[in-house]
Amino acid sequence: MDVKTGEIVFNALIKSFEFSRALMQEHFNENYMESDKIPNAKFKGLVLNIKDVDVKKDGDYAVDVKGDLTVHGVVKNITVKAVLQVKAGKIKGTSKFTVTAGDFNIAIPSVVQEKIAKEIEVTVEMNYEAVNK
């Protein structure tokens, strides 16, 4: 994250997503997400109101983030609410939002459609430390 411009980029390894049941996780990776072929989800965007964040002052800052979320090879432009928590010179970013499997062309077989949530809650947590160039 560039605290001057608000540019933010991250990648997430799909196989690192956790489920309450091992079988659900296996089906998710093998049957729906094709994690061996498309191993990462990516986000590239901007913190729209980065000027409201004082990175030198501890506190929680509500921000709006807009950008391109790439999942399963499909790019979707999203805008979400997030919180940037500044503490002791470090920044922790958190956000929760929902997507649907259809948003990213993830096919769910009709046999199991009733057992899979229509909306998927995504929780993102990022930890940043200053990099001196």
Angle at alpha carbon of residue 24, lines to 21 and 27, rounded to 5°: 150
Angle at alpha carbon of residue 43, lines to 38 and 47, rounded to 5°: 175
Strands 40-47 vs 7-13: parallel, antiparallel or unpaired: antiparallel
Instruction: Return the pLDDT at 92.
Output: 96
Q: What is the residue-level pLDDT of the chain in tens, covering all 133 positions?
A: 999 999 999 998 988 877 777 877 787 778 778 888 989 999 999 999 999 999 999 999 999 999 999 999 999 999 999 999 999 989 999 999 999 888 988 887 777 777 777 788 888 999 988 776 6
DSSP string, the chain: --TTT-EEEEEEEGGG---SSHHHHHHIIIIIS-TTTS-EEEEEEEETTGGG--TTS-EEEEEEEEEEEEETTEEEEEEEEEEEEEETTEEEEEEEEEEEGGGGT----TTTGGGS-SEEEEEEEEEE-----
At residue 9, what are phi and psi to the nearest 5 degrees? -140, 135
Instruction: Return the pLDDT at 59.
Output: 97
pTM of the model: 0.85
Per residue in 94-105, pLDDT tens? 999 999 888 988
Candidates 3.90.1200.10, 2.40.128.110, 2.102.10.10, 3.40.720.10; CATH matching 7-128? 2.40.128.110
Instruction: Return the pLDDT at 118.
Output: 75
